[in-house]
Amino acid sequence: MTILDIRPDVAADIYAAGGITVRKHGHRIGAIIDGVALSGEISDETAYAIQYALTAHRVIFFRDQHHLTDEIQYDFGGRIGSQTTTHPTLRSDDNRTLLVEGARANVWHTDVTFIDRIPKASILRSAIVPAYGGATTWASTIAAYEQLPAPLKALVENLWSVHSNAYDYAEMSSRIEGGPAQAVEPEGYRKEFTRTVFETEHPVVRIHPETGEKSLLLGNFFKEFVGLEPAESTVLFQLLQDRITKLENTTRWTWQLGDVAIWDNRSTQHYGVADFGEQPRKLYRTTLAGDVPVSVHGESSRVRTGDASHFSVVDQPVRLPGFATN
């Protein structure tokens, strides 16, 4: 199913009731939302309309949200989901908001896939933007699955993979980028990031809990396919990643002050483009709790190591109306 399979009358009614307008930013992924000032005071109708647009378009963007602070951003998150703590391993002063700066996100990834309860969504607001560069790109993992030929679909629907936060950063960067190893994180950051080791088995194809669509679950925290040799895992991983990051399946956002992006972490990967040199770049992220992925055969992800209950509750999503799979 693609976004074109959503009943337009259902979406239009929901957006009208919420007082928002939705403009596509890319054919397969991305939309710009107008008509709302984000806060914890938005109406139930507006909150529902934003959630619906997010699920339908995978990533949504808001301009001119200059009034936002960490507190208002966090309160808004509570209107469209259940907020998590900062991160399973990284700390922040308020244990709510994560500062994203520098070039730490310049690899394709889905957030926090090394735990069982993968986040539903993230809310990212700009605080300092460089004079040039620093865009973020998102890819639709649903579009990538839908474009697979039937034999590959049959293969990946029966595959499981291991995701972990403890891996060889240089080796993984080389594997994903297909070339020489990229610059790795400072030792202090790596030590904090891996202070608790998490390892989880996920289905390579998960069912989106709100739409019933099938999505590829891979990204930077992938370690290996269950039952395959390391060399086989590397080749197959790169083949599938190349499908996900095909340019036609992506949308790119050039940040301005006052911008907010929200992405559905169950149907996307993203990449922060590190083309801004030594210029400062700061964004603040609030994360929303997600469910435990379920395979096409109804099996849930399995924890090997680590307890993520301190990070978030397990979300209990419900199916949304108007999608062809529902």
- Which residues lie below 8 Å from residue 305, measured CB to CB, with a gap of 6+? 164, 197, 198, 199
Mean pLDDT (the chain) is 91
Structure tokens at 93: 């002063």
Q: How far is CA 73 from CA 104, 170, 287, 288, in A?
A: 22, 34, 10, 12
Q: Are 73 and 113 in contact (CB under 8 A)?
A: no
Q: What is the C-alpha separation between 118 and 137, in angstroms, rounded?
A: 20
- Please tell me which of 166-180, 190-204, 274-288 the model is most confident about, judged by mean pLDDT: 274-288
Mean pLDDT of 62-81: 98
The more confident residue out of 214 and 101 is 214
Structure tokens at 102: 């520098």
Q: How confident is the model at residue 186 (pLDDT cuts 50, 70, 90)?
A: low
The answer for 143, left when phi > 0, alpha when psi is -120 to 50, beta otherwise, is alpha
> If we measure between CA atoms, which residue out of 108, 112, 86, 89 comes closest to residue 99?
86
Mean pLDDT of 120-144: 97
Output the pTM of the full model. Answer: 0.92
Q: How confident is the model at residue 89 (pLDDT cuts 50, 70, 90)?
A: confident
Does pLDDT of 159 surpass 90?
Answer: yes
Mean pLDDT of 279-306: 97
Is residue 125 packed enough to be buried (19+ CB in 10 Å), middle (13-18) or exposed (0-12)?
A: buried
First to last CA, the chain: 11
Strand runs labelled E in 13-91: 21-24, 31-34, 59-62
32 backbone dihedrals φ, ψ, rounded to 5°: -105, 130
Q: Residue 145 belongs to what H/E stretch?
A: helix 141-146
Residue 184 is predicted with a pLDDT of 46
Residue 177 is predicted with a pLDDT of 43
Q: How confident is the model at residue 105 (pLDDT cuts 50, 70, 90)?
A: confident
Which stretch of 78-92, 186-200, 233-247 has the lowest confidence by average pLDDT?
186-200
**CA-based torsion, 281, 284, 290, 292: positive or negative:** positive
Residue type, 223: K
Does pLDDT of 164 surpass 90?
Answer: yes
3-state secondary structure of 126: strand
Residue 291 is predicted with a pLDDT of 98
> If we measure between CA atoms, which residue out of 24, 11, 85 comes closest to residue 52?
11
Q: What is the C-alpha separation between 295 and 63, in angstroms, rounded?
A: 36
Does pLDDT of 174 surpass 60?
Answer: no
Structure tokens at 69: 């602070």
Residue 102 is predicted with a pLDDT of 75
